[in-house]
Amino acid sequence: TSTTRLHRAPDRAEAARAAGRAFADAFGTEADGVFSAPGRVTIIGEHVDYQDGLCLPMAIGHRCFAAVRVTETGRLQLRSRQMPDDAVDVALADLAPGAVPVWAGYAAGVIWALADAHPQLRSGELGLAILVDGQVPLGAGLSSSAALECSVAQALEELLGLGTTQQERIAACIRAENEFVGAATGGLDQSASVRAAQGHALLLDCADGAVELEPWDLSEHGLGLLIVDTRAEHSLIGGEYAERRGQTESAAEALGAATLREVADAGADGVRDQLDALEDDVIRRRARHVVTEICRVREFADLLADGGVGENLRRLGELMNASHDSLRDDFEVTVPELDVAVGAARDAGAHGARMTGGGFGGSIIALVDADQMEATAAAVATAFAEHGFTAPVAFAAQPSTGAGRDI
Ligand code: GAF
């Protein structure tokens, strides 16, 4: 059988030094520090965050690096290694939605959001020079934007001593995305990027922001988590993502519930009765996805806490498969590339495979035996060639640590 080489995340320490050097090249002076935050995969718990649901993400090894210097210019000078021709130079006091290009908005929006509680950020005396090096693949559904936001929030906290909590930084990053960039996303990605821990999955309760770390020690059980980026690019700004979110809000309203979490907490019989009461077929299927997905996350997390991956592999895989099928059939956020990739991974023997992230493109994950990672990736690549799709890119996912300081 053929195999495919798995791409690796860049070495963190080396990548941080590279970002520091790029800062010096761009600005002719040293950065005060280099900070980074990771991308994520959702192991299970998709399109439930904005309905107060339960999600189970983990951070991946790919990170966004922000090299930052505090200046006295009153301006934000922003460069990106990925956008070398697109330097931004704007007065911090003038930051407002629409004031900078979209990529820069993810960074500028965080400063703008934090300035409400920390007016020194728009006093005109303080300035910021920031060099961004985004090593999370862009448009792959792996949260490159949350990684950028969270790396900047971490830098501001540590260099300016703002005294923000993790929750406050997460909230600022979400406002950057919702209000500054205009993507109606729900907060899962920012929480994962800030709060994830090495070797663990993060159980996130979006109703109150509470988190629990669950052991996710795949290699100890001879397993691995494969990520395959389908290269079908996705965007969460405007359009279909916002439409799905709106449909879940309509469902909750029709049921007289504040959120679909209330419905999910009603217990199996109550849930069925409530969903049956929804007349509109589309709205009912959207709601059924959210409610059943929340129940799947609860079961998945309980299994991790009780017996773990070793004792529950089969059921964990079934839950991942059911999550994908629900996102395909009820929530309708998959595209042919995602379904073909998941099908090929399952046919190749994956214990479970599902799309991860917002959908409409992006990546899948597959829970596979450690010695089958390359072969599974190759099976997906072969299926893509047969369908005439762009060649996919495969990674091994390592459960990694949240936002922090590198230098
Ligand atoms: C995207 C969004 F940004 C998240 O908030 C979440 O809704 C996810 O899609 C789907 O689970 O990543």
**Residues facing residue 62 across a β-bridge:** none
Span from the CA of 360 to the centroid of ligand 1 (angstroms): 11
Tens of pLDDT, residue by residue over 44-62, are: 999 999 999 999 999 999 9
- pLDDT of 268 > 80? The answer is no
Query: pLDDT at residue 237 above 80?
Result: no
Name the residue with the closest Cα to ligand 1, atom 9.
358
Atom of ligand 1 nearest to the CA of 143: 12
CA 47 from centroid of its chain's CA atoms: 11
Q: Which residues contact ligand 1 via a Cβ below 6 A? A: 42, 46-47, 49-50, 185-189, 236, 357-358
State yes or no: pLDDT of 267 exceeds 90. no
Per-residue model confidence as pLDDT tens digits over 140-177? 999 999 999 999 999 999 999 999 999 999 999 999 99
Q: Which atom of ligand 1 is nearest to the CA of 48?
A: 11
Q: Respond yes or no: is residue 281 known to be catalytic.
A: no
Report the alpha-carbon distance of residue 161 to residue 296 in Å, rounded. Answer: 40
Which residue's CA is the closest to the ligand 1 atom numbered 8?
A: 358
Looking from the CA of residue 50, the nearest atom of ligand 1 is: 7
Token pair in block for residue 142: 């792996």
* Mean pLDDT across the chain: 96
Q: Tell me if residue 153 falls in helix, strand or coil.
A: helix
Structure confidence at residue 151 (pLDDT) = 98
Ligand 1 atom at minimum distance from 46 CA: 11
Name the H helices within 115-238: 144-160, 166-175, 188-195
What's the CA gap between 365 and 42, in Å, rounded?
A: 9
Write down the ipTM of this complex.
Answer: 0.99
Q: Catalytic one among 49, 189, 229, 330?
A: 189
pTM: 0.97
Of 41, 43, 47, 144, best ligand 1 pocket probe by most atoms within 8 Å of the beta carbon: 47
* 220 Cα to the center of ligand 1, angstroms: 29
CA of 398 to the centre of ligand 1 (A): 20
CB atoms within 10 A of CB 246: 12
